[in-house]
Amino acid sequence: MEEAITIGQATLYLGDAYAIRPTLGRMDVDVMDPPYRFNAVGAGKFRAARQATHMLIAEGMDKGFDHSIINPLLCGSCIVFFHPDQLLDLGDHLRGNFRRMVLCQWIKENPAPHRNKNYIFDSEPYFHAWNEGLHPVGAHEDMHRYVFAPVAPSKIYDHPTVKPDRVMAKIMANVNGQTICDPFMGTGSTGVAAIRAGKRFYGIEKNPKHFETACNRISAAVAEMEARAA
């Protein structure tokens, strides 16, 4: 069942992103943290005891996503978080659809110490890709390709991959345009940052529990901005 709620400068949709996103038309920027494709098992007792790992598996967030949802006919630029194992395939898709792209990094100040026969996951990459007219913007101090921020515990919003406010605020400072869409909204971190940056936000989330959390968080952000303007 699809549901749409408007909260200030945000419109939030409960439903399937692959069905809803094409109906929303062209946006300046699509910002997304889609399901990663990676091995969510192994790494011993430490990883097995982590709540976030169980949540990822239970919600299918380890199975990857259909790249066709990143469509240059629907967005002039995009921000896409991804697991390092997805770098080549995702990079090829973006390179074939956007004029330029840059690899950026969220440097985690408190990474989980497990490795699972790999490097410690102490940073998380994201691509910023764009076409003509929607190149990155921002004050000089905002133009680094990295941002430092701590990992948010999954228990805060009962979601395994909540992005920190500091990371999303930097992204909002760098994207060019006023309309932002997040097809995999989760608990609404992109929406909160977009509202605080004075942008128009559209979010899609299929999980009713996360959708409710996003509505509450974005309502609070809208009220915060209205109080500042009063």
Domain ranges for the chain, please list them. 3-229
Strand partners, 128: 79, 102
The residue among 121 and 69 whose pLDDT is bigger is 69
Q: Which tokens hold the place of 169?
A: 């605020």
Angle (CA) 154-159-161 rounded to 5° is: 80
Q: What's the chain's average pLDDT? A: 91
User: CB-based contacts of 155: which residues, under 8 Å, 6+ apart?
Assistant: 51
Among 84, 82, 62, CA closest to 70: 82
Among 84, 62, 29, which Cα is nearest to 201's? 29
Question: Which residue from 174, 220, 205 is spatially nearest to 29, judged by alpha carbons?
Answer: 174
- Homologous superfamily in CATH for domain 3-229: Vaccinia Virus protein VP39 (3.40.50.150)
- For 8-24, the pLDDT digits (tens) are 999 999 999 999 999 99
Across residues 66-72, what is the average pLDDT?
Answer: 97
Per-residue pLDDT tens digits for 23-44: 999 999 999 999 987 666 555 5
Return d(Cα 22, Cα 1) in angstroms, integer: 17
- Tell me: the pLDDT tens digits for 74-86? 999 999 999 999 9
Distance between CA atoms of 78 and 187, rounded to whole angstroms? 19
| Residue keyed to tokens 């790494």 | 43
